[in-house]
Amino acid sequence: EMISSLSCAADKEVKEGNDQLALGSVGPGVSADDGPTLAFPSISTADFQFNHEKASDIIVEKVEEFVKKVGNGRLVLVDLNHGSKILSLVRAKVAQRNIDSKKFFTFVGDITQLYSKGGLRCNVIANAANWRLKAGGGGVNAAIFSAAGPSLEIATKEQASSLHPGNAVVVPVPSSSSLYGREGVSHVIHVLGPNMNPQRPNFLNDDYNRGCKILRDAYTSLFEGFVSIIR
Ligand code: AR6
């Protein structure tokens, strides 16, 4: 059984090619049954160019609100690199709040390989989607659709054909998908965040009044989707 350290809100290193280290260390009071877990990327802060300071404030605010509502569930903010600015900002801000570090922490790794490479069990992962809910495009969206295979595209189309900014849609992962078989992911929640990139649809032209409201709505929709799965 792979067990991950949850003793602090620190990143755990994902070391490829070294199974021992990939398991991480066992923290105090941590069992293999970690409870339902949502892994989510920082919505809108890469391709959609949303301000990182503002985004990190909103992540911490929404996490603080929802850790109380997820029962024994956990929320995990994921990014690819140790140098992630958004992870550093969130960790610094979380440290100043009263948030249970077993219920919320950050993790460095590919969201499509959290269990197989990182030893972190997450039954639900979030996607920073595009409004058409199309595969490809880049970023975490391309990674998730590519790792899941075409069955996720079909399953997604059965739930919705498009998304408005600030909304999310819960998609059950077909058991034929390797995301299900290899990673143990039963649901993907697609989220559409606010877009500050002039090259992308629904460009907000630096309107952070609307942008912050949409990002709050996006995290609310995401976390409510997770709550609906684990109830
Ligand atoms: N695992 C974990 N985190 C990742 C991964 C991964 N495999 N890939 C990227 N990230 P982005 P957005 C992090 O650009 O800004 C797409 O083309 C990344 O470092 O994926 O909401 C869609 O089709 C960053 O912290 O999403 C949309 O058109 C976070 O995920 C558009 O990009 C989000 O980065 C959405 O842009």
Q: What is the pLDDT of residues 154-202, one digit of tens each?
A: 999 999 999 999 999 999 999 999 999 999 999 999 999 999 999 999 9
User: For residue 28, how far is its CA from the centre of ligand 1 (angstroms)?
Assistant: 32
Strands 187-191 and 168-172: antiparallel
Q: Give the ipTM of the model, two decimals please.
A: 0.99
Q: What pLDDT digit, counting tens, does each position of 198-226 carry?
A: 999 999 999 999 999 999 999 999 999 99
Of the candidates 121, 125, 119, 131, the one whose C-alpha atom is nearest the C-alpha of residue 152 is 125
Tokens of 41: 């990327």
Pocket of ligand 1 (CB under 6 A): 41-48, 78-80, 86, 110-112, 128, 130, 137-141, 143, 193, 200
Residue from 11, 120, 140 to probe ligand 1 pocket by mutation (most atoms less than 8 Å from CB):
140
- How far CA 53 is from CA of 22, 45, 70, 101, 231, in Å, comes to 31, 10, 26, 21, 33
The pTM of this model reads 0.89
How far apart CA 128 and CA 130 sit, in angstroms, is 7
For the chain, the average pLDDT equals 89
CA of 75 to the centre of ligand 1 (A): 18
d(CA 207, CA 215): 12
Helices 139-148 and 150-159: crossing angle, nearest 10°? 110
Take atom 19 of ligand 1 and give the residue whose Cα is closest: 79
How far CA 66 is from CA of 97, 104, 176, in Å, comes to: 14, 10, 31
Kindly report, residue by residue over 50-69, the tens digit of the pLDDT. 999 999 999 999 999 999 99
Distances (CA, A) of 161 to 61, 118, 129, 144, 224: 30, 33, 12, 18, 20
For residue 141, report the distance from its CA to the centre of ligand 1, in Å.
Answer: 6
**Dist. CA 65–CA 6, nearest whole Å:** 20
Give 179's DSSP letter.
Answer: H
Q: How far, in Å, from the CA of 106 to the mean position of ligand 1?
A: 16
pLDDT at residue 194 in the model: 98
